[in-house]
């Protein structure tokens, strides 16, 4: 190891140190562990920026790093695979390290105002949880193999459980924490089976290099490498099964339908935790994993089609529920589900760069919106109901203008960051859908419809919160917020406004200007890693694999696609403006009648899952228990009863008296002679 790459493990270890400090010494420290967390995540951010800069400015093999740190199990004849702890740094992981460390740092700073200044108890436990959460996600990002990724994937889930349930003395948070833990664990069962299947098939779980499982799968489909397959399936069919198994864990963590129900309830945790979960850690982990394994998924058109369709459906499905919610954080929660649906749509639709782009912009504007919501909640004495707000625009100008920037980015309004990334998602899905991939067109249509809903619920939220007349006494005189709340908002507000400049693909196509910086960066890693954009493009276009062809819709098609997306966003925002930007708004969604009831109850998804657990799973479990006890245990108990009875009979014969044994031998001989005499005609 040489240079800055020597320090990559420290990016994760620094928050781990803050976890230990806060847990064991936090109660003795001035800010109860906050300063240790700020220092640690600040250090991680500096190191992450240096790593990303090194990757961007180095040539050849120096533009990345793939090294084993520790080997748990060496490969042998009895165990034809090795279990290792390693570090993988390529453009994707370098970018994600910056995102996670930046958001973690800002969340720690914001927590000074949200948690410390509000006089919360249990702060050492809170900052310890944040430190462990940051460590887990950062280690997951630079994991070099699927097993290491799974380990930290699970640790991320544990941390979310602890932080969502931080206010455990109340009724809601513990229930929400358990729901998040159980729903995501259901998906993780499939992920675990997928991990086992990967090792059983390829003998390795490495992500990058010529000996990685994505490359071995590619070689197997070319007939250049032999792999194990199961269930009598061909190689590509078996690879599809593996990809879908891993996708189960992705759908749980990234809250994709039908495993999305935990995320709205997770709003029971502290708002800074919500920002961290939604923007850069737990929910981002699933999408990042698909991007990390993209060389494997690009081999299966079926898996890509499922990813795209699930993503498009989730984007629309969640957006429809966001239009009726009354609590600020609830609206943002459903927007998160919807936006991660866009990322899945892009990945399934052949838009790897578009997905990573939207992951980057979403991390910024969603963290901004949640922290802005936290600022409003502080001002409103922890009241989250938007109908109790109003008129906060002039009373909280910094919060309002930064929140507005995040809202414009979320809605996809030009020229804010979300416009560029969402437009690229839809564009990539469209051109590949027109290129003889009709399933993608279904995902594209649903994603396009979701744009209008997003514009509506986003600006309904803005107008109800900040515009009009104050509707309560608290809104008349809100609590002021300090610099530690406003500072992160300003930083994120600037990024939400300008970050789209990193990948202006439409401008490049129109003018020829070389300004697709993110695309260039993601294509810059070492060729030997086989994780660059060029390699993924070859796999997607290969008819033996995904077979994705890109239709040439020209400049006119590009402009029409962008105009259609922007027009729908503006239409949704305009409708919200007309209905809710009034001095005394009324709830127009009441006109939806039973449909609103359906949306307020989230299509009765929670009730359905409860029925699955109590109405189906429990009876099946009871029937299985009865069968086990009556049949299985009955057979075993019957055999043991016969054995005991026979044993007692035989035991009576074994007296230890020699004359008894002689008598038994004589009796046996007599009976034997009699038997042969009768059957042989001796008498």
Q: Using CB atoms within 10 A of its CB, is residue 467 exposed (0-12), middle (13-18) or buried (19+)?
A: buried
- For the segment(s) 607-680, the CATH number from 1.20.5, 1.10.3470, 3.40.1620, 1.20.120 is 1.20.5
What does the DSSP assignment read for 189-201?
Answer: HHHHHHHHHHHHH
pLDDT in tens, 35-48: 999 999 999 999 99
Of residues 11 and 71, more confidently modeled: 11
Task: Please give the radius of gyration of the chain, using alpha carbons only, rounded to the nearest integer.
Answer: 31
What pLDDT band is residue 352 in, cutting at 50, 70 and 90? very high
Token pair, residue 391, equals 């008129």
- Mean pLDDT for 619-643 is 82
Assess contact for 404 and 564: CB atoms under 8 A.
Answer: no
What pLDDT band is residue 72 in, cutting at 50, 70 and 90? confident
Question: What residue ranges do the domains of the chain occupy?
Answer: 300-587, 607-680
pLDDT in tens, 243-285: 999 999 999 999 999 999 999 999 999 999 999 999 888 999 9
Among 79-83, 427-431, 469-473, 613-617, the least confident range: 79-83
pLDDT in tens, 376-401: 999 999 899 999 999 999 999 999 99
pLDDT in tens, 531-569: 999 999 999 999 889 889 888 888 888 899 999 999 999
What is the pLDDT at residue 80? 66
Q: How many CA atoms lie within 13 A of 676 on its CB side?
A: 5
What is the pLDDT at residue 41? 97
What does the DSSP assignment read for 126-177?
Answer: HHHHHHHHHHHHHHHHTB-BHHHHHHHHHHHHHHHHHHHTSSTTSSHHHHHH
What does the DSSP assignment read for 596-640?
Answer: HHHHHTGGGHHHHHHHIIIIIIHHHHHHHHHHIIIIIHHHHHHHH
pLDDT in tens, 293-337: 999 999 999 999 999 999 999 999 999 999 999 999 999 999 999
pLDDT in tens, 441-491: 999 999 999 999 999 999 999 999 999 999 999 999 898 888 889 999 999
What is the pLDDT at residue 50? 96
Assess contact for 444 and 315: CB atoms under 8 A.
Answer: no
What is the pLDDT at residue 78? 58
What pLDDT band is residue 590 in, cutting at 50, 70 and 90? confident
Q: Is the bond leading into 356 cis (omega within 30 degrees of zero)?
A: no
d(CA 437, CA 165): 44
Query: Is residue 664 over pLDDT 60?
Result: yes
Assess contact for 311 and 344: CB atoms under 8 A.
Answer: yes
What is the pLDDT at residue 642? 81
Length of the chain: 683
What pLDDT band is residue 86 in, cutting at 50, 70 and 90? very high
What is the pLDDT at residue 447? 95
Of residues 24 and 639, more confidently modeled: 24
3-state secondary structure 208-241: CCCCCHHHHHHHHHCCCCCCCCCCCCCHHHHHHH
What pLDDT band is residue 529 in, cutting at 50, 70 and 90? very high
Helix, strand, coil percentages (3-state) for the chain, rounded to 5, are: 75, 5, 25
d(CA 239, CA 544): 13
Assess contact for 50 and 4: CB atoms under 8 A.
Answer: yes
First to last CA, the chain: 98
Token pair, residue 2, equals 């040489």
Query: Is residue 676 over pLDDT 80?
Result: no
What is the pLDDT at residue 334? 96
Q: Give the Å distances, CA to CA, from 468 to 325, 373, 387, 392, 643.
A: 19, 18, 11, 9, 85
What is the pLDDT at residue 652? 67
Q: Residue 262 in 3-state DSSP?
A: helix
d(CA 70, CA 68): 6
What pLDDT band is residue 505 in, cutting at 50, 70 and 90? confident
What is the pLDDT at residue 75? 63
Assess contact for 568 and 453: CB atoms under 8 A.
Answer: no
Query: Is residue 197 over pLDDT 70?
Result: yes
What is the pLDDT at residue 254? 93
Q: What is the mean pLDDT of the chain?
A: 91
């Amino acid at each position: 190891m040489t240079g800055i790459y020597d320090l990559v493990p420290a990016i994760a270890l620094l928050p781990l140190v803050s976890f230990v400090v806060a847990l064991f010494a936090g109660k003795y420290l001035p800010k109860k562990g906050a300063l240790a967390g700020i220092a640690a995540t600040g250090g991680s951010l500096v190191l992450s920026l240096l790593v990303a800069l090194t990757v961007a400015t180095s040539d050849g093999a120096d533009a990345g790093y793939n090294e084993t740190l520790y080997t748990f199990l060496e490969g042998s004849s009895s165990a034809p695979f090795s279990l290792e702890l390693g570090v993988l740094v390529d453009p994707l992981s370098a970018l994600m390290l910056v995102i996670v460390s930046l958001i973690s740092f800002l969340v720690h700073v914001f927590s000074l105002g949200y948690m410390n200044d509000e006089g919360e108890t249990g702060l050492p436990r809170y900052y310890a949880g944040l430190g462990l959460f940051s460590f887990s996600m950062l280690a997951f990002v630079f994991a070099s193999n699927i097993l290491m990724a799974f380990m930290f994937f699970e640790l991320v889930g544990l941390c979310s459980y602890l932080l969502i349930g931080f206010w455990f003395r109340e009724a809601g948070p513990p229930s929400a924490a358990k729901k998040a833990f159980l729903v995501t664990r259901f998906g993780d069962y499939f992920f675990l089976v997928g991990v086992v299947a990967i090792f059983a098939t390829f003998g390795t779980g490495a992500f990058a290099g010529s000996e990685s499982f994505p490359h071995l799968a590619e070689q197997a489909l070319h007939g250049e490498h032999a792999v194990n397959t199961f269930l009598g399936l061909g190689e590509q069919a078996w690879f599809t099964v593996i990809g879908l198994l891993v996708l189960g864990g992705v759908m749980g963590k990234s809250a994709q339908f039908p495993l999305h129900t935990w995320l709205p309830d997770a709003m029971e945790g502290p708002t800074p935790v919500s920002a961290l979960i939604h923007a850069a850690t737990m929910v981002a982990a699933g999408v990042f994993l698909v991007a990390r394994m993209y060389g494997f998924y690009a081999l299966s058109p079926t898996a890509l089609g499922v990813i795209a369709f699930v993503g498009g459906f989730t984007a629309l499905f969640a957006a429809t529920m966001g239009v009726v919610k009354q609590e600020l954080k609830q609206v943002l929660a459903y927007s998160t589900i919807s936006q991660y649906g866009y990322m899945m749509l892009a990945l399934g639709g052949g838009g790897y760069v578009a997905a990573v782009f939207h992951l980057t912009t979403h991390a910024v504007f969603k963290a901004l919106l949640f922290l802005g919501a936290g600022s409003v909640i502080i001002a409103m004495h922890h009241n989250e109901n938007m109908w109790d707000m109003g008129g906060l625009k002039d009373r909280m100008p910094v919060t309002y203008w930064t929140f507005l920037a995040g809202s414009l980015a979320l809605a996809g309004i030009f020229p804010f960051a979300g416009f560029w990334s969402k437009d690229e998602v839809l564009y990539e899905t469209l051109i590949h859908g027109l290129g003889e991939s009709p399933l993608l067109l279904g995902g594209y249509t649903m994603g396009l419809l979701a744009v209008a809903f997003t514009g509506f619920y986003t600006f309904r939220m803005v107008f109800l919160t900040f515009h009009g007349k104050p509707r309560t006494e608290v809104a008349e005189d809100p609590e002021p917020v300090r610099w530690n709340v406003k500072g992160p908002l300003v930083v994120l507000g600037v990024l939400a406004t300008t970050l789209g400049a990193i990948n202006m693909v439409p401008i490049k196509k129109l003018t020829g200007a070389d300004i697709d910086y993110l695309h260039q960066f993601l294509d810059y890693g070492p060729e030997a890693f086989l994780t660059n954009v060029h390699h993924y493009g070859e796999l997607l276009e290969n008819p033996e694999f995904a077979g994705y062809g890109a239709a040439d819709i020209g400049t006119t098609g590009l402009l029409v696609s962008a105009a259609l997306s922007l027009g729908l966003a503006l239409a949704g925002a305009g409708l919200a403006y007309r209905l809710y930007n009034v001095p005394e708004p009324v709830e127009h969604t009441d006109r939806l009648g039973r449909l609103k009831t359906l949306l307020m109850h989230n299509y009765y998804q929670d009730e359905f899952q409860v029925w699955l657990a109590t109405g189906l799973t429990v009876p099946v479990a009871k029937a299985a228990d009865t069968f086990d006890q009556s049949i299985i245990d009955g057979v075993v108990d019957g055999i043991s009863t016969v054995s005991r009875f026979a044993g007692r009979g035989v035991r009576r014969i074994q007296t230890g008296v020699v004359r008894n044994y002689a008598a038994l031998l004589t009796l046996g001989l007599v009976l034997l002679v009699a038997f042969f005499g009768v059957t042989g005609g001796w008498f």
